[in-house]
Amino acid sequence: MQEHLDALEERMQQLQQAMRRAQLARDSDQVKQLRDELRRTQRAWDALFEQSEDGEDTSAADERGTPAQPARAEPPIPLPAREQVHQVLTLLTVPAAPKLISTVHEAFFAGGLAPSRLTSLRRDEERSYRSAPGARPYYLCPALTSDLLSPARGLLTVSTWPLEHRIVGPLSARVHFLTSALNIADAAERLDADTLPLAARQLLARYAQNIPGAQPPIPQRTAAGPPIDLPLLRRAAQDELALHTDADTTARTEAAARARRQLDDAGLLFGGPFQSVRRLRSVP
């Protein structure tokens, strides 16, 4: 119990320090987000502290021979949406759309993450970066198109990824689909197959249906749907991935070299302004 209280107190100190930095940077949106999280953490600390007091009262009652009362469950502390998205993208390791991020979060992480919560997230991240560059350990930013070096619609990445991994070319959609299938299969394999959440099974089934050779010739359906053959799914994804990886890597590497010549630091994260798209495409 004490270690949980200590962790919450440390988190509150971190949030207070981050609020001061955001205030100095005049990032009102970041201050509001941090204040909301601080309030949630404070409420969790209060609830846990009251629970610890109840536990002490119960122990004293036990010493007097009075039956102990069952302890209340610790209240969960919800993560901010940006941290939930970061968790999912770290699992996938490739750019992803809000719908996929929400689906993967439901399958492998606690709590819900509605795609609608991600609508303004990228704009908030860019606004925060431009007001105080580098103030956060990471930023959620859009993937960049290989031809125009502009933000790819609806695809989120993490700023700490290499630039080549944040660029999408003509073959990248398929490469990213196959790569995420492998990473999701790895995540599922780390769980108990007998207790694999239904959302995870459904997600794996959708991947298997869209990769040639990823399903048994005659799948045997069960009450939970067709069984998932993870080794078969992994081999099929790897075989197809080998066909596209070299060409996709070459296209993204060339685009990344061009981006480093043409874009500033903010542009490398959030893309070039649309008014300069034609100029960027014409410059070798």
Give per-residue pLDDT as tens, 87-146. 999 999 999 999 999 999 999 987 778 888 787 888 899 999 999 998 999 999 999 999
> pTM score > 0.75 for this model?
no
pLDDT of residue 282: 43
Pairwise pLDDT comparison (91 vs 219), residue with the higher score: 91
Q: Which long-range contacts (CB under 8 A, 24 or more apart) does 245-249 make?
A: 245/175, 247/171, 248/169, 248/171, 248/172, 248/175, 249/164
Termini Cα distance of the chain:
61
Binning pLDDT at 50, 70 and 90, where does residue 9 land? confident
Rounded CA gap, 149 and 168, in Å?
9
Residue-wise over 57-76: b if at least 16 C-beta within 10 A, else e? ebeeeeeeeeeeeeeeeeee
Whether 61 shows a pLDDT value over 80: the answer reads no
- Which tokens is 112 given? 């819900």
Going from N- to C-terminal start, the domains of the chain cover: 2-67, 82-282
Average pLDDT of the segment spanning 216-244: 82
Tokens 């998932």 identify what position? 228
